[in-house]
């Protein structure tokens, strides 16, 4: 049993990591940190874990974490991650970082959207942790930059089309809708039940920090700079992201061609499910699983394609993908601990 | 007290009409029809109305309705409406038709998206019931074609920009999200709580029948043919539509210019509320009211504008707008019965 | 127009008071206080009010409030209220206090469940603001202690039976379920969307502070000391309380007798709606209204009666009842500003 | 791999059985029937199963089912089950029946609450499938009558107290609240999103058909006839039942004694989790799992105990318990396929 640790285990992503690790046959959770809940049992802070995990949350520093874990998940806010990840790496630990700190290869771009970067020298070795694009590189690194939730849904949805050159990369619009767990477990008025329930709204229109991450990956796929419109919205659901992505098709591209490109691109992927043309995925059909479900519609009236891409934001959009990356880093079967059937209804 | 009738009062739209009429000081509900629930009290079929309205649902024909009502709301499916509306008009009754049958001026377009039209000779006199665009014409007609819910949110959201020529009409994409009441009270699996709750999905992508209605009005505003991408989605909420509309801005158009155009266009409108730049409306802030709330974001990175437009689909998107039209048809104050503060939380 | 003020206008109850006052023809909101949001427009803090109320929140003391309002709603936490209410009364202002501070006539009981009482000398003049029980007394006082939300639903549900002696007062069990707005707008983890949604739990079992208030009123109705079991639960809805109340019936009491007692007790009440035997109220049928809907089932198998009592916790359970009390205090029609049809769906 | 079949696989319970079986290492789903959806892939009817199960629904008779399955789950309505279960048993098949038809040992009682029983001769061999009470008997039978959802939560909640004689069996009141999946996937108005969402109501007060089943088991535990008050309510959630059970304690029984009795009763149970006194379970903490979580409060003021018992109605309340019973029938590890961590949030 490999020993793994979670830094920042009192948020929803940390909890979700613990939830998966509990049933993962190859790893053992040996340390979980939290400043706010130090001293409390994980199963008290998240009562769904009651009786299933015996660990208590601790407020300890990197050195002690290094002593007790071989692989470390950093589920902390950006800026915090860049302060500790280098220590873990220097001590020979493998790291799956769930923050944004190592996702963007160009420090200048990072600093434009976030803040100053204190460890830019690690950007080169960080691999963007989307296994469907970077499986081999992930296997060979020590630092995986686990993708953002929105980027995962958007990039997986559009990658085959960009790669195959079927769309005009200048016309991409991503209209995304996320469940409220994406806002985390912080106590803030905007995340209260009464503020979110029976409602719907957009936020950070054209300004969300996931934008440069999406553009970086789309640019690599398109082999040209790509700028997109990205609008996140808040759904009155706990889990799930649905991204509706629009782009103009190259002349003459039809449904069959698009379907073939998707089939080809995702042929051997265990966690991508393609929907037949004219049928569409839904967040409730991937709930609780590591799947990314993708459907599309070619619209001859407008010459555009509309792509629908659904994930569970806490799993394929965060903790599940992190476990998938861990499996690759450690040489486990890629779906170990993740072979879960979505929970519906 | 003017006598009004509701044909098709057992759906959510019919109920909402009744709910507003009960508190409207100038009109009296004298007849409400339903095939399925004939003989039952309206206050039993919709227990929120218990004790507030004494009327029973009846299964009666047009002649009897004509005898008992001076103004008639037809809240029936398309195709059904075109069979009865001519009779009401011929008998000198005023009609607010909530179906799609008289919304599209060109019968050929209607027939392409719906089915054969049996009363095309009435299309010329029908006025599209969006008071913010057609107030004077509505006052002078006998037949108002009450707009669809999605079209109301999209057209109001984008009308000022098209009218002022600030956007490229060829680039419009409307990504709309609707509450489940839009699917009506019919017992179908897709509308069950367990199918909708904690989930989100798109449907009829690029094929929804509201498309030609939207395009008709946008084309008139732009004074050129407009084709749009329109994607409806189903929200796990009862009431509310939020439309996120994208378009490329003409060169040099900035936030101040856009704001001025909106201010100017909606200066005297009681039911349109403009949000300051960078703040966005939400369905929960218009719930239960006849408001259309509009916000926008100019994105210099992409040269696009993103417009957010929120309504209560059962009110401004259906029954409330129908009452607003009735007020115009009858010479009442336009906000009579509609001066309601949105219910939040 | 009478000038009214709201002390503590940034919570859901304060907002709801403002929402009703905006449309009340006899009063004008002249002052609204908030420490946290001082300086901000009420319509920004609660965007549903955007454009409908022009007032800004202020952080001011009792003297200034007294200068600007003739009647004052205190929508502040218990203990805070007892510090300011006496000043308002001393200055000749009428007060509707929405806290618990003046609800319990016996200061010793109050102090057992809450904390020390600093103004017990005002308890005698405070009238418990349940108009269905104390209408005449309310008209003649200057201080109304507006009832708690749970107590309103439970007391109205069981009052007729206790008064008529149809039940054994020693057997009363109240199992209540409340929407999350009852927890207020404070930012706390337990009220987050992700903690409440798609879930259900009990809390403060047998220990909720509304217990002594309920027992006080039931004891007065029964003319004997009454002790009850009271279990509150948290519903994943914004508004609404349903209380399910159990009691053993006196021998021989049947459905007809119970129905007659209810009919008689609530004959002239505008805000109580009785449901026919065997049909039951629901929170969604009173949403947005000041109604208390009551149904019941006599169960001969067990000799018990089960009473179902539904209110909107923010309206009949708080702000609406406060307005009803204001109407009585000021000699307005009792339903002025409250003649609203419940919003369904 | 043992071959298992599901009769009635197009409802939520059937789907849940399939969902668990897909990941169960000892069994294989070889046949799944549905009249309505015959010919369609299970993964189309329930898109969460897309790509995970290759079976199509069939409309076939008992003989063919017998040919293809060694163990059969009957997930059909009562009355239908009694028509086919005898055929399966006669052919030597093991049956886990999820209907009510074989739960009640006394045919007369069954007929009083349901309708005539056509196979009463099988009642004697049917074992009530609550493993925590009847584990050994289940291992030795061929026919398990899988308990109802409400009964599971109530019986497990109160069994230890009745068995130990700590409560007065004449005073039991069970106030239960269920998620909407309990109403099944049938298209009916009462289960529509708009009718259930943001609402709460009671139904079949004192008349629900689970009553005799609960009373049968409580009577056996108490060794005396027990009659209870049982009130089911409909929660706006998909999954979960919380039962709040009240009973008068025998004189002198205290918290420690109650806790000891629970600990003792459930010491070795894998699927019962006890909560420390004063803390309470919630449906969201058992979601997606086979757990029954139990908490309680001893209330000295009233002499009553309040028990809170939470399950996922589709799992421990239906399909999960059926799998647990299958595991016992087949000699598998009891938690095979069921070792799932609850999904929260």
3-state SS of A209-265 is CCHHHHHHHHHHHHCCCCCCEEEEEECCCCCCEEEEEEEEECCCCCHHHHHHHHHHH
Give yes or no for B194 touching D (CB within 8 A): yes
Task: Provide the token pair at B169.
Answer: 């009409």
DSSP for A147-175, please give it. Answer: PPHHHHHHHHHHHHHHHTT-B-GGG-EEE
Task: Provide the token pair at A148.
Answer: 């953002």
What is the residue-averaged pLDDT of chain A? 97
| Per-residue pLDDT reduced to its tens digit, D240-263 | 999 999 999 999 999 999 999 999
Q: Are C340 and C316 in contact (CB under 8 A)?
A: no
C181 CB neighbours in chain A (<8 A) are: 194
Question: What residue of A is the nearest CA neighbor of B192?
Answer: A345
DSSP state of A32: E
Interchain proximity B285–C50, CB inside 8 Å = yes
Interchain proximity C193–A180, CB inside 8 Å = yes
Interchain proximity B193–D187, CB inside 8 Å = no
Task: List chain C residues with pLDDT less than 70.
Answer: none
Q: Is A292 a catalytic residue?
A: no
List residues bridging with D112 in a β-sheet: none
Q: What is the mean pLDDT of residues D58-74?
A: 98
Give yes or no for D168 touching C (CB within 8 A): no
Q: Which of A193, A197, A318 to mutate to test the interface with C (most CBs of C within 10 A)?
A: A193
Dist CA C161 CA C172 (whole Å): 11
Query: Strand B241-248 vs strand B272-274: parallel, antiparallel, or unpaired?
Result: unpaired
Tell me how far apart the terminal alpha carbons of chain C are, to the nearest angstrom: 34
B75 upstream amide cis, omega within 30 of 0? no
pLDDT band at A278; cut points 50, 70, 90: confident
* Closest residue to C240, CB basis, from D173, D177, D199: D199
Interchain proximity B340–C23, CB inside 8 Å = yes
* Length of chain B measured in residues: 345
Give yes or no for B281 touching A (CB within 8 A): yes
C343 CB neighbours in chain B (<8 A) are: 19, 48, 287-288, 343
Dist CA A75 CA A84 (whole Å): 11
Q: Are B15 and B40 in contact (CB under 8 A)?
A: no
D236 CB neighbours in chain B (<8 A) are: 193, 197
Interchain proximity C194–A236, CB inside 8 Å = no
**Residue B96 scores a pLDDT above 90:** yes
List residues bridging with D29 in a β-sheet: D4
**Residue B277 scores a pLDDT above 90:** no
**Residue B243 scores a pLDDT above 90:** yes
| Per-residue pLDDT reduced to its tens digit, D92-109 | 999 999 999 999 999 999
B345 upstream amide cis, omega within 30 of 0? yes
Which pLDDT does position D279 carry in this prediction? 94
Give yes or no for C339 touching D (CB within 8 A): no
Which pLDDT does position C280 carry in this prediction? 98
Dist CA A70 CA A30 (whole Å): 10
Interchain proximity C194–A191, CB inside 8 Å = yes
Which pLDDT does position C278 carry in this prediction? 85
| Per-residue pLDDT reduced to its tens digit, B27-66 | 999 999 999 999 999 999 999 999 999 999 999 999 999 9
pLDDT band at A277; cut points 50, 70, 90: confident
Q: Give how far A45 is from chain C: nearest CA, Å.
A: 11
Q: b vs e for A235-264, b when ≥16 Cβ sit within 10 Å of the residue's Cβ?
A: bbbbbbbbbbbbbbbeeebeeeebeebbee
Dist CA C329 CA D287 (whole Å): 49
How many CB pairs below 8 A link A and C? Answer: 56
Q: Give how far A279 is from chain D: nearest CA, Å.
A: 10
Give yes or no for C191 touching D (CB within 8 A): no
Give yes or no for B189 touching D (CB within 8 A): yes
Give yes or no for A308 touching B (CB within 8 A): yes
* Closest residue to B285, CB basis, from C47, C284, C340: C47
| Per-residue pLDDT reduced to its tens digit, C267-307 | 999 999 999 988 999 999 999 999 999 999 999 999 999 99
Bin B194: left if φ > 0, else alpha if -120 < ψ < 50, else beta: alpha
Q: What is the mean pLDDT of residues D203-215?
A: 98
Handedness of CA C118, C123, C127, C128 (dihedral sign): positive
Dist CA A307 CA A305 (whole Å): 6
| Per-residue pLDDT reduced to its tens digit, A243-270 | 999 999 999 999 999 999 999 999 999 9
Q: Give how far B43 is from chain A: nearest CA, Å.
A: 25
| Per-residue pLDDT reduced to its tens digit, A143-170 | 999 999 999 999 999 999 999 999 999 9
Give yes or no for A66 touching C (CB within 8 A): no
Q: Which domains does chain D have, with CATH numbers?
A: 2-125 (3.40.50.720), 150-313 (3.30.360.10)
Q: Are C50 and B285 in contact (CB under 8 A)?
A: yes
What is the residue-averaged pLDDT of chain D? 97
Which pLDDT does position C229 carry in this prediction? 98
Which pLDDT does position B278 carry in this prediction? 85
Task: Work out the percent of chain A whose per-residue pLDDT is above 90.
Answer: 99
Q: Give how far B47 is from chain C: nearest CA, Å.
A: 6
pTM: 0.98
Question: What residue of C is the nearest CA neighbor of B294?
Answer: C50
Interchain proximity B236–A235, CB inside 8 Å = yes
DSSP state of C76: S
**Residue D152 scores a pLDDT above 90:** yes
Dist CA B160 CA A202 (whole Å): 21
Q: Which of A15, A23, A50 to mutate to test the interface with D (most CBs of D within 10 A)?
A: A50
Give yes or no for B281 touching C (CB within 8 A): yes
* Closest residue to A345, CB basis, from D12, D273, D341: D12
List residues bridging with B242 in a β-sheet: B177, B310
Interchain proximity A200–B345, CB inside 8 Å = no
| Dihedral pair phi/psi, residue C304, rounded to 5° | -105, 160
Q: Which of these is catalytic: D149, D194, D292, D330? A: D149
Beta-sheet strand order (sheet of D2-7): D27-33, D2-7, D71-74, D94-97, D143-145, D127-128
Give yes or no for D124 touching B (CB within 8 A): no
Task: Provide the token pair at C256.
Answer: 């007809």
B47 CB neighbours in chain C (<8 A) are: 281-282, 285, 344
Count CA atoms closer than 13 A to B201's CA, side-chain side.
Answer: 24
Give yes or no for B276 touching C (CB within 8 A): no
Handedness of CA A210, A216, A222, A225 (dihedral sign): positive
**Residue A295 scores a pLDDT above 90:** yes
Q: Which of B194, B202, B238, B343 to mutate to test the interface with D (most CBs of D within 10 A)?
A: B194
**Residue B20 scores a pLDDT above 90:** yes
**Residue B233 scores a pLDDT above 90:** yes
* Closest residue to B237, CB basis, from A198, A231, A284: A198
A308 CB neighbours in chain B (<8 A) are: 201-202, 205
Q: How many CB atoms lie within 10 A of CB C63?
A: 10
Q: Give how far B234 is from chain A: nearest CA, Å.
A: 10
Alpha helices in D54-148 (DSSP H): 62-68, 81-90, 107-113, 131-140
């Amino acid at each position: 049993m490999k020993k793994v640790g979670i830094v920042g285990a009192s948020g929803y992503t940390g909890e979700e990591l613990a939830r998966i690790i509990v049933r993962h046959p190859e790893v053992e959770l040996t340390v979980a940190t939290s400043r706010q809940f130090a001293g409390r049992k994980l199963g008290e802070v998240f009562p769904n874990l009651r009786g299933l995990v015996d660990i208590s949350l601790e407020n300890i520093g990197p050195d002690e974490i290094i002593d007790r874990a071989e692989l470390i998940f950093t589920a902390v806010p950006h800026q915090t991650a860049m302060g500790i990840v280098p220590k873990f790496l220097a001590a020979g630990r493998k790291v799956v970082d769930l923050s944004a700190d190592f996702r963007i290869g160009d420090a200048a771009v990072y600093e434009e959207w976030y803040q100053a970067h204190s460890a830019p020298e690690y950007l080169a070795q960080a691999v963007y942790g989307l296994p469907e694009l970077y499986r081999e590189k992930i296997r060979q690194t020590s630092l995986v930059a686990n993708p953002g939730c929105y980027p995962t849904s958007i990039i997986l949805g559009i990658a085959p089309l960009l790669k195959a050159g079927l769309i005009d990369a200048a016309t991409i619009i991503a209209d995304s809708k996320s469940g409220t767990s994406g806002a985390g477990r912080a106590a803030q008025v905007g995340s209260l039940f009464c503020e979110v329930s029976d409602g719907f709204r957009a936020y950070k229109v054209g300004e969300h920090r996931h934008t440069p991450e999406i553009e970086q990956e789309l640019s690599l796929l398109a082999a040209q700079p790509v700028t997109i419109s990205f609008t996140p919205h808040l759904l009155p659901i706990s889990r799930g992201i649905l991204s509706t992505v629009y782009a103009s098709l190259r002349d003459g591209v039809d449904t069959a061609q698009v379907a073939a490109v998707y089939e080809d691109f995702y042929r051997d992927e265990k966690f991508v499910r393609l929907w037949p043309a004219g049928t569409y995925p839904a967040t409730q059909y991937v709930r609780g699983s590591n799947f990314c479900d993708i459907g599309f519609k070619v619209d001859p009236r407008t010459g555009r394609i509309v792509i629908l891409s659904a994930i569970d934001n806490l799993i394929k959009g965060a903790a599940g993908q992190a476990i998938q990356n861990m499996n690759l880093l450690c040489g486990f079967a890629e779906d170990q601990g993740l072979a879960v059937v979505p929970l519906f209804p």
